[in-house]
A and B are shown apart, each in its own frame.
Chain A
């Protein structure tokens, strides 16, 4: 059975204090790994898609990396506006496009 585990559950950072979020996955055949950001009471906002081990993508203060078993989302010098829940999801080869989400990491960045 496909599984997605995110850690930590919650992360409190000072503004400027860089950190990393982890997404470990077990899937029969990975078609893609997706990172989303979700603000309270809103739908997830697409951040990145990763497809193969060794791949990296960046957007502003965020950088996502992928290995064969896990993905990391690095937040460099975060600002308060980076506070959100970050969701990781995997899409298996035989999933007909369906995403399986992890429970998310809630990030709070304080000034």
Chain B
């Protein structure tokens, strides 16, 4: 149980284009999901908290107009990187907190490797 999927697993795009990444909880409902970014040899940095049916909460320094988050259902959150540039190349990982989680556990997706040329 507590499986989270992400799609796509890898994406390569040209500078200036937009890329959408999907995060799905496959066997549980999640009112809250989180989006992280991880650069090589570094730890996970929280970008934003996504809540179903409401606006996402972004961490300081994260541009909300560049990283659009939509949490339209209890099993799906999407992250759209708009007008991507090479510096946006990174490993994007989502996590979901099951609504049944007693202790606020988060379960992570497998990640999406974004390369912007």
A49-B108 CB under 8 A given contacts A44-B93, A99-B46, A102-B43: no
When chains A and B are docked, how far (Å) is the Cα of A75 from the Cα of B104? 25
B76-117 interface bits toward A, Cβ cutoff 8 Å, 1 = contact, 0 = none: 000000000000000101010100000111111111010000
Other-chain contact of A36, B2, B57, B108, B110 (Cβ < 8 Å): B108
| Contacting pair B97 A97 (CB below 8 A) | yes
Known: A32-B103, A49-B105. A98 touches B44 (CB 8 A): no
Q: B46, A43: Cβ atoms under 8 Å?
A: no
Q: A41-B113, A42-B111, A87-B44 are in contact. Are A98 and B34 (CB under 8 A)?
A: yes
Docked pose: A99 CA to B34 CA in angstroms: 9
Which residue of the partner chain B has the closest CB to A6? B43
List 28 A–B pairs whose Cβ atoms lie within 8 Å, in order of A's numbering.
A31-B104, A34-B106, A36-B108, A41-B111, A41-B113, A42-B110, A43-B4, A43-B109, A43-B111, A44-B44, A46-B2, A46-B105, A46-B106, A46-B107, A46-B108, A49-B105, A51-B103, A87-B43, A97-B49, A97-B97, A97-B104, A98-B49, A99-B44, A101-B44, A101-B45, A103-B42, A103-B43, A104-B43
Given contacts A34-B106, A99-B106, 16 further A-B contacts (CB under 8 A): A34-B105, A41-B111, A41-B113, A43-B109, A46-B2, A49-B103, A49-B105, A87-B44, A96-B57, A97-B97, A97-B104, A98-B46, A98-B49, A102-B43, A103-B42, A103-B43
Closest chain-A Cβ to B82's Cβ sits at a distance in Å of: 23
Asked whether any CB of chain B lies closer than 8 Å to the CB of A45, the reply is: yes
Q: How many chain B residues touch A (Cβ–Cβ < 8 Å)?
A: 26
Which residues of chain A have C-beta atoms less than 8 A from B75's C-beta?
Answer: none
Instruction: Give residues in A with beta carbon < 8 Å to B.
Output: 31-32, 34, 36, 41-46, 49, 51, 87, 91, 96-104
